[in-house]
């Protein structure tokens, strides 16, 4: 379009209306598609209640972002073509538009509403069940039946995790969890800061020396998952990982019995009652595995 | 003057000689004081105190060799104050203490460029290691040092990436002054940064450091002596940043020319104000926390050692009180460059000037209240997480102002797709992805998975590389003809832009997926299922590196061989620096300009900054 559009030209088409209509149409189509088809692809998956909550969070946020992306896509696709200068055009100025209070107000209101909604929604999701994140020694967000939760202590050290099951008097270098159970992790470290990341469970909690970092997760059906260290902890940080399993109640009992035999020498040191030991007994050299 | 005479004066060569001398003086001096190592927490390879004192001696020698002691010593001996160092012409002034703000700007450009190049090479080495999860190209310790060097170099050096070259060069011109408020401090900020860069690079002689750019205690307490280089590097960068910020604020507040009210200030200068405030207030926290870490490592205090009553949380909190404003120190100058350049190439006034200023200052203010989102899963007080979630997401409101003002400036313009404009437009794309991915990280439930993963790594590369480095190049293509007097090749510039833009996205977008799939940051290996993704990223990263070589070739070719003189105003800009000859003469203005409007009066029919050098204007200071 070569209408040079000097300021106040009557022939100027209503660019604004075009962009807004295109945006609304595109958003109306794209948002449900993204919410329905892209949303469920988000990690960490549906292994636990908490990981499902995170997937739902991601789904909602992505759906909310889609109109934003659509607006910029439409704006730039339209604007960069429509408002480009002709090739080898002499320096021509555009109309001297300096401000529009209505546009500003509309923008501020819309962005603020979205932001406040996101913060409120995130807070609600977080407080509902803790979302699997480490909450320190005094957690504030629990699943419903957290008093009866199955307790596991996770002890990080350079460069492996050790797992203690106080209710069983058991220690292992393998993380095995019973299915359909509320689990309460107590994460600590013996040396530097590690981070206990059970990827598919949607659990992450930093392991700080001398700190009992609590987090909750509600397992569902049997599955396998990866455990990784997510905080740089020195030389072999990249190799600080292993696999875990969620198994049925009967399999769990069987596993516990076999593990108890293997780690019998550790048994006297595994504290059956909280508070959790934040240093390691016996000697770190004799830990399980 | 003969060559020998020139080499003997106060210059970079003398500085290096004295620096090495100072280093050894400190090294042996410290050994004479404390003898063997007093380390009983960490390893005992080195006498930590001697490493610190050696480098401090080296820095003092380096600065003395450049001539920084001449003025204070002369004043102590009772000589009268001389306002400026000896004026020199020619190449020599770039290798010594020079108080001309334009020389310092160009020094910064090359100095920062050098370390940006080293940091980039480190990135190439990281991606080489990650080509395969099985075979180790580098030993694990070397790999961590490379990762740490890359991060620290980029996060430390590039804090001054835009303020160093462009603000030093342009702010005095844009506000109609002939110099900065503190010219000698201005030179000091640059040479401190160079000394710091040398210190960080030589960490490889002391075993490197394993902590990445965050330097978390207690891992840093047990690290070998290379950790001391990290501490000294970042502390010197902190000092340099503080001084730079003070200097910028003092200059902008006190030295504006007649008529240049706050609402006529170019938006770039507002960006410098908002950044300088962060520098002045945030960098001292960094210096403090690193001093504590240095004491932990030398005097065996236990600020961050749990066993001694300290707390690693203290380090994390203090570091991120600095660290989050720090990432806006990187991002805000980018916002400002985008808003400064869009009016020129859209041929329209900057839309919503006050809203744009509010956006810059709003980000600057809010960036103080978000730091604990870096500690969401650390076991911080759980009650605080909703607050930090809210404050973090609030930042997107003032950031949105920048988007709105930029987009409305383009609206109905006559857009010209020059190389600097392309880099500015890419900012919208990159920062949109960077910002929206940040929403996942700010949302505490979603952050449980993305925290500390490649997702967050991809996020901050989109915001910092996509936000800072792209606008850094926009600034180079836009202002280097003005600074050097020579044009850059436009065709090579466009090749550089398109390859960089394509391979930047091809490098970093897949990393979001790698993070979601469970790849933590800073790992030397990863699950073999992620190899395709990582190989894709590595190959893209190498191509991204090659696109930087296109730029380097363009720079050297255009400036050293073709030498096509630049016009005074190649872009048809109304900004005042383009009303001056290229390169800008030593004293900037014959007479101080008088401002009657902001520089964005496109389409309003006024002559471009008609107030420049009117008859009868005050002769001005200096």
Mean model confidence pLDDT for chain B: 90
pLDDT at A29 over 90: yes
- Residues A151 and A282 placed together within one structural domain of the fold: yes
Say how far apart CA B157 and CA B166 lie, in whole Å: 14
Residue A91 inside a domain? The answer is no
The beta-carbon neighbor of A79 closest among B211, B313, B411 is B411
pLDDT at B44 over 70: no
Number of domains in chain A: 2
Residue carrying the six token digits 């450049």: B66
CB distance A191–B222 less than 8 Å? yes
Q: Is A184 left (phi over 0), alpha (psi -120 to 50) or beta?
A: beta
β-sheet bridge partners, residue A163: A154, A172
Chains A & B: contacts with CB separation below 8 Å: 278
DSSP letter, residue B257: P
From A1-10, A155-164, B229-238, B562-571, the region with the lowest mean pLDDT: A1-10
Q: Indicate the pLDDT class of residue A3, thresholds 50, 70 and 90.
A: very low
Two structure tokens written together for B606: 């006024």
pLDDT tens-place string over residues A192-232: 999 999 999 999 999 999 899 999 999 999 999 999 999 99
pLDDT tens-place string over residues B467-494: 999 999 999 999 999 999 999 999 999 9
Residue A42 inside a domain? The answer is yes
A3 vs chain B: nearest CA distance in angstroms? 11
The beta-carbon neighbor of A94 closest among B306, B347, B355 is B347
Interface of B with A in 587-616 (CB under 8 A): 601-604
Interface of A with B in 227-256 (CB under 8 A): 228-239
Interface test with B, best of A15, A95, A211 (most B CBs within 10 A): A95
- Residues A109 and A167 placed together within one structural domain of the fold: no
Look at residues B536, B537, B503, B530 and name the one whose alpha carbon lies nearest to residue B514. Answer: B530
Interface of A with B in 1-40 (CB under 8 A): 5, 7, 12, 15
- Residues A31 and A112 placed together within one structural domain of the fold: yes
Mean model confidence pLDDT for chain A: 87
- Residues A116 and A166 placed together within one structural domain of the fold: no
B313 vs chain A: nearest CA distance in angstroms? 9
Q: Indicate the pLDDT class of residue A2, thresholds 50, 70 and 90.
A: very low
Q: Is B259 in a helix, a strand, or coil?
A: coil
pLDDT at A138 over 60: yes
The beta-carbon neighbor of A65 closest among B312, B390, B439 is B439
Residues of chain B contacting A91 with CB distance shorter than 8 Å: 347, 572
Which alpha helices (DSSP H) does B522-620 contain, by range?
531-556
Q: Cβ neighbours of residue B251 under 8 Å, at least 6 residues apart?
A: B171, B172, B175, B177, B180, B181
pLDDT tens-place string over residues B571-612: 989 999 998 988 898 888 888 888 888 899 888 876 655 445
Interface test with A, best of B445, B454, B455 (most A CBs within 10 A): B445
pLDDT tens-place string over residues B373-408: 999 999 888 889 999 999 999 999 999 999 999 999
Residue A114 inside a domain? The answer is yes
Residue A175 inside a domain? The answer is yes
- Residues A263 and A153 placed together within one structural domain of the fold: yes
Give residue A60's domain range: 15-85+102-129
Residues of chain A contacting B442 with CB distance shorter than 8 Å: 122
Tell me if A192 sits within 8 A of A232, measured CB to CB: no
Q: Spell out the domains of chain B, with CATH numbers in brackets.
A: 96-579 (1.20.210.10)
**What pLDDT, on the 0 to 100 scale, is given for residue B41?**
43
Give yes or no for B369 touching A (CB within 8 A). no
Q: Indicate the pLDDT class of residue A116, thresholds 50, 70 and 90.
A: very high
Strands A213-218 and A203-207: unpaired
Interface test with B, best of A84, A107, A125 (most B CBs within 10 A): A107
Q: Indicate the pLDDT class of residue B87, thresholds 50, 70 and 90.
A: low
The beta-carbon neighbor of B381 closest among A132, A136, A226 is A136
Residue A231 inside a domain? The answer is yes
pLDDT at B456 over 90: yes
DSSP letter, residue A47: S
Give yes or no for A99 touching B (CB within 8 A). yes
A167 vs chain B: nearest CA distance in angstroms? 24
- Residues A111 and A236 placed together within one structural domain of the fold: no
Percentage of chain B beyond pLDDT 90 is: 72
More confident residue, A229 or B4: A229
Residues of chain B contacting A201 with CB distance shorter than 8 Å: none
**What pLDDT, on the 0 to 100 scale, is given for residue A268?**
75
- Residues A20 and A125 placed together within one structural domain of the fold: yes
**What pLDDT, on the 0 to 100 scale, is given for residue B40?**
46
Q: Indicate the pLDDT class of residue B1, thresholds 50, 70 and 90.
A: low
pLDDT at A28 over 80: yes
Interface of B with A in 252-311 (CB under 8 A): 306-307
CB distance B452–A122 less than 8 Å? no
pLDDT at B337 over 50: yes
pLDDT at B24 over 70: yes
Give yes or no for B382 touching A (CB within 8 A). yes
Other CB atoms within 10 Å distance of the CB of residue A8: 7
- Residues A72 and A176 placed together within one structural domain of the fold: no
Q: Cβ neighbours of residue A28 under 8 Å, at least 6 residues apart?
A: none
Q: Indicate the pLDDT class of residue B283, thresholds 50, 70 and 90.
A: very high
Interface test with A, best of B140, B144, B209, B377 (most A CBs within 10 A): B377
Interface test with B, best of A60, A62, A63, A126 (most B CBs within 10 A): A126
- Residues A29 and A122 placed together within one structural domain of the fold: yes
Give yes or no for A162 touching B (CB within 8 A). no
- Residues A65 and A186 placed together within one structural domain of the fold: no
pLDDT tens-place string over residues B227-272: 999 999 999 999 999 999 999 999 999 999 999 999 999 999 999 9
Burial letters B576-601, b for 16+ CB under 10 A, else e: bbbbbebbbeeebbeebbbbebbbbb
Tell me if B152 sits within 8 A of B213, measured CB to CB: yes
- Residues A160 and A218 placed together within one structural domain of the fold: yes
Domain CATH number, residue A252: 2.60.40.420
Residues of chain A contacting B412 with CB distance shorter than 8 Å: 5, 12, 15, 83, 94-95, 97
CB distance A238–B352 less than 8 Å? no
Q: Indicate the pLDDT class of residue A289, thresholds 50, 70 and 90.
A: very low
- Residues A115 and A247 placed together within one structural domain of the fold: no
pLDDT at B52 over 80: yes
pLDDT tens-place string over residues A45-68: 899 999 999 999 999 999 999 999
């Amino acid at each position: 379009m070569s209408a040079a559009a000097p300021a106040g030209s009557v022939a100027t088409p209503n660019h604004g209306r075009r962009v807004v209509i295109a945006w609304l149409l595109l958003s109306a189509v794209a948002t449900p598609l993204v919410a329905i088809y892209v949303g469920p692809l988000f990690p960490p998956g549906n292994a636990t209640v908490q990981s499902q909550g995170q997937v739902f969070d991601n789904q909602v946020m992505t759906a909310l972002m889609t109109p934003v992306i659509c607006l910029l896509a439409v704006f730039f696709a339209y604007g960069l073509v429509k408002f480009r200068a002709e090739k080898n055009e002499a320096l021509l100025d555009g109309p001297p538009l300096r401000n529009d209070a209505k546009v500003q107000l509309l923008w501020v209101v819309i962005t603020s509403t979205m932001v406040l909604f996101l913060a409120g929604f995130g807070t609600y999701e977080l407080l509902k069940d803790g979302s699997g994140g480490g909450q320190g020694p005094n957690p504030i967000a629990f699943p419903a039946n957290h008093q009866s939760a199955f307790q596991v202590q996770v002890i990080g050290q350079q460069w492996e995790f050790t797992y203690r099951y106080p209710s069983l008097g058991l220690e292992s270098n393998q993380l095995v969890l019973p299915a359909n159970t509320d689990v309460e992790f107590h994460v600590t470290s013996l040396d530097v800061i590690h981070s206990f990341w059970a990827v598919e469970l949607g659990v992450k909690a930093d392991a700080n020396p001398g700190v009992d970092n609590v987090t909750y997760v509600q397992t569902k059906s049997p599955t396998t998952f990866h455990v990784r260290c997510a905080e740089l902890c020195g030389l072999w940080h990249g190799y600080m990982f292993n696999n875990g399993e969620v198994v049925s109640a009967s399999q769990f009992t069987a596993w516990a019995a076999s593990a108890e035999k293997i780690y019998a020498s550790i048994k006297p040191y595994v504290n059956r009652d909280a508070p959790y030991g934040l240093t390691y007994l016996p000697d770190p050299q004799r830990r399980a595995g | 003057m003969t060559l020998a005479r020139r080499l003997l004066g106060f210059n970079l060569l003398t500085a290096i000689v004295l620096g090495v001398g100072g280093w050894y003086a400190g090294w042996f001096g410290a050994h004479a004081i404390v003898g063997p190592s007093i380390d009983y927490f960490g390893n005992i390879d080195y006498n930590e105190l001697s490493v610190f004192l050696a480098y401090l001696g080296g820095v003092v020698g380096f600065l003395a060799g450049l001539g920084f002691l001449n003025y204070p010593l002369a004043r102590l001996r009772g000589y009268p104050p001389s306002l400026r160092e000896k004026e020199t012409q020619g190449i020599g002034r770039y290798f010594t203490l020079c108080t001309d703000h334009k020389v310092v700007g160009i020094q910064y450009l090359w100095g920062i460029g050098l370390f940006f190049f080293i940091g980039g090479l480190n990135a190439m080495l990281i991606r080489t290691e990650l080509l395969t999860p099985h075979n180790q190209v580098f030993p694990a310790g070397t790999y961590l040092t490379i990762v740490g060097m890359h991060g620290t170099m980029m996060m430390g050096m590039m804090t001054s990436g835009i303020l160093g070259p462009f603000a030093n060069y342009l702010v005095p011109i844009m506000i109609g002054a002939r110099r900065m408020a503190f010219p000698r401090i201005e030179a000091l900020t640059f040479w401190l940064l160079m000394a710091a860069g040398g210190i960080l690079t030589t960490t490889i002689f002391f075993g490197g450091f394993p902590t990445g750019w965050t330097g978390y205690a207690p891992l840093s307490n047990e690290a070998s002596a290379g950790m001391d280089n990290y501490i000294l590097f970042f502390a010197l960068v902190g000092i340099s940043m503080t001084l730079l910020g003070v200097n910028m604020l003092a200059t902008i507040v006190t030295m504006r020319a007649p008529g240049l009210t706050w609402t006529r200030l170019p938006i770039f200068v507002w960006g410098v104000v908002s950044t300088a405030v962060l520098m002045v207030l945030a960098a001292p926290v960094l210096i403090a926390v690193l001093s504590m870490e240095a004491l932990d490592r030398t005097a065996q205090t236990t600020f961050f050692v749990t066993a001694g009553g300290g707390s690693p949380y203290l380090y994390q909190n203090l570091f991120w009180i600095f660290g989050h404003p720090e990432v806006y120190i990187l991002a805000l100058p980018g916002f400002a460059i985008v808003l400064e350049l869009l009016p020129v190439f859209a041929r329209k006034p900057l839309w919503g000037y006050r809203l744009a200023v509010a956006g810059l200052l709003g980000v600057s203010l809010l960036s103080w209240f978000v730091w604990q989102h870096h500690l969401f899963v650390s076991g911080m007080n759980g009650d605080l997480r909703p607050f930090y979630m809210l404050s973090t997401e609030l930042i997107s409101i003032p950031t949105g102002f920048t988007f709105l003002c930029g987009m409305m400036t383009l609206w109905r313009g006559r857009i010209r797709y020059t190389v600097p404009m392309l880099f500015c437009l890419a900012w919208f794309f990159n920062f949109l992805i960077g910002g929206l991915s940040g929403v996942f990280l700010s949302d505490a439930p979603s952050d449980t998975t993305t925290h500390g993963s490649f997702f967050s790594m991809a996020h901050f590369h989109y915001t910092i590389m996509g936000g800072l480095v792209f606008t850094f190049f926009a600034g180079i293509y836009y202002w280097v003809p003005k600074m050097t007097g020579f044009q850059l090749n436009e065709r090579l510039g466009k090749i550089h832009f398109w390859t960089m833009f394509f391979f930047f996205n091809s490098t970093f977008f897949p990393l979001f997926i790698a993070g979601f799939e469970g790849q933590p940051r800073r790992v030397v290996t990863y699950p073999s299922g992620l190899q395709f993704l990582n190989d894709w990223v590595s190959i893209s990263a190498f191509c991204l590196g090659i696109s930087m070589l296109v730029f380097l070739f363009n720079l050297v070719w255009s400036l050293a061989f073709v030498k096509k003189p630049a016009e005074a105003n190649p872009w048809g800009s109304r900004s005042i620096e383009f009303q001056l000859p290229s390169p800008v003469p030593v004293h900037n203005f014959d007479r101080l300009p008088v401002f009657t409007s902001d520089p964005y009066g496109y389409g309003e029919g006024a002559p471009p900054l008609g107030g420049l050098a009117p008859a009868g204007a005050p002769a001005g200071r200096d």
